[in-house]
Structure 1
Amino acid sequence: MTGLQTAALLLFLLSVTYIYRKADIKAAFAAAPTRHAIVNATALLLLFWLFRLQTSLGPDIHFLLVTALTLTLGFRLATLCATLCLLIVCAVGTVPWAMLGVHGITTILIPVGLTYTVYALSFHRIPRNFLVYIFLCAFIPAALVLGVSMLSLAGYYVLEGIYDTHAIIDNYLMIIPLMLFPEALLNGTAITLLVVYKPEWVYTFHDKFYFDD
């Protein structure tokens, strides 16, 4: 394990430990809607993270789905559920254990934090309505966090010399524009369906804020 991997692992573990201590896990599982949301969202996220495009010319490529997870479960539970998924992905060998901290930061902490920041800013600074919630809190952040996540991971690979710069540009960074719209559509559609059919599962959505006058 390199020095950068060790530093990333320590930062990730400290962050997750702090979030775990602040989260009320018992209360979350005591409420049936929240419990169902946690189980279903975690299973879906794990499915997307296990099936990824693996190439010998660059890093693996997969959808994040973290924006929908964050809007559904909130900042703390989303971080913890995504961490559980990452641990399982590492356990089955899809991601090396040495990369746990790096992937934890680039695919969990940054995306979850960025998504929740955009949601909080839109909630407090922009007039609330259903379309604002769907497009500004789900569609746009999903594309944004995917781009930031992939750029961060690419920067790490270049710094560590794991992949050649040209390989990263040609086989990874060039894929980002093609991934943005599907990622946005995937997260936006998931949140739209949840808000319509299972609004009690979505932690960040309330009728009194987005529908009631």
Structure 2
Amino acid sequence: MTTLQVISLCLYIIGLAYVCSKTNFKQLASDKSLQHKVFGAITCVFVLWLFRVSIYDGLVMHFLWLTSLTLVLGLRWALIGASAVLLASTLIGQESYQMLGVNGLLGVFLPIIFTYLVYMLTFHKMYRHLFIYIFLCAFFPGAISIVLKMLSLSGYYYLEGLYTWDVIEYNYAQMTILMAFPEAFFNGMTMTCLIVYKPDLVYTFEDKFYLDGK
């Protein structure tokens, strides 16, 4: 492992350990509805991450669905759930063991924390409305999250000298243009369906804030 990979792994483990220390696992053990929601969401994301494409080793593209995961589970369970998916993907050989820390920081923590910060900002600073929630909490964060992940990983590969910038730019970085809208649409549609048909499953959505009296 390179120095940057070791540092990333240490930071990722410390961050995940802190999140776990602030999470009520006893509730998960006793609440069957929470179990179904958490494990069901993890399974869906894991299956989605199996579908991926790449031209060069490491320059992998796949949908994240982490914006929806964050809105459904909340910050802490989303970080833990996505980390479980990342670990499972690594164990079956979909991801490199050496890249676990980098993928954890840039592919899990960065998109999820960004999504939750946008949600918190819109909740406290903007008018609470159904369409505000769908577009500003799900649609646009979905697009920006995958762009952040892919561009930050592009920077990592360049700094590590694994590929020249020409290879990274034309085979990975530029693909953010093609990935952004489908990711946004995917998350926006997911959250629209959930808040219409199963709003009780969405941790960050309540009728009294977004629908009542609107």
Q: TM-score range by the shorter chain?
A: over 0.9
Partner of 1:163, secondary structure, is: coil
CA drift at 1:28: 3.4
Q: CA RMSD in A?
A: 1.2
Matches of 1:116 and 1:98 in 2, distance apart? 28
Matches of 1:82 and 1:158 in 2, distance apart? 25
Structure 2 unaligned spans of 5+: none
Residue deviations 1:155-178, cap 9 Å, x none? 000000111110000011111111
Partner of 1:139, secondary structure, is: helix
Partner of 1:38: 38
Partner of 1:48: 48
Partner of 1:95: 95
CA drift at 1:92: 0.7
Matches of 2:148 and 2:30 in 1, distance apart? 35
Alignment of 1:81-120 (within 5 A): 81-120=81-120
Partner of 1:177: 177
CA drift at 1:27: 1.1
Partner of 1:155: 155
CA drift at 1:110: 0.5
Matches of 2:101 and 2:47 in 1, distance apart? 21
Find out whether 1:77 has 2:77 as its counterpart. yes
Check 1:99–1:92 CA distance in 2 against 1; reply closer, same or farther (3 A cut). Answer: same
Partner of 2:55, secondary structure, is: coil
Which of 1 and 2 has higher RCO (CA within 8 Å, sep 6+)? 1
Matches of 1:111 and 1:12 in 2, distance apart? 14
Is 1:58–1:172's contact at 8 Å kept on the other side of the alignment? no
Partner of 2:56, secondary structure, is: coil
CA drift at 1:212: 1.3
What residue identity is the alignment partner of 1:89?
S
Is 1:53–1:62's contact at 8 Å kept on the other side of the alignment? yes
Calculate percent identity across the aligned residue pairs.
Answer: 43
Matches of 1:26 and 1:201 in 2, distance apart? 19
What residue identity is the alignment partner of 2:123?
F
Is 1:42–1:82's contact at 8 Å kept on the other side of the alignment? yes
Partner of 1:66: 66
Partner of 1:206: 206
Matches of 1:35 and 1:199 in 2, distance apart? 17
What residue identity is the alignment partner of 1:33?
S
Partner of 1:3: 3
Is 1:58–1:167's contact at 8 Å kept on the other side of the alignment? no
Residue deviations 1:124-151, cap 9 Å, x none? 0001011100010000000011101101
Q: Using the TM superposition, name which of 47-56 and 178-187 deviates more.
A: 47-56
Residue deviations 1:42-94, cap 9 Å, x none? 01110111221022376011111100000000000000000000001000111
Matches of 1:140 and 1:28 in 2, distance apart? 30
Matches of 1:52 and 1:18 in 2, distance apart? 30
Q: How many equivalent pairs are there?
A: 213
Normalised by the size of structure 2, how large is the TM-score? 0.96
Check 1:52–1:148 CA distance in 2 against 1; reply closer, same or farther (3 A cut). Answer: same
Matches of 2:22 and 2:58 in 1, distance apart? 37
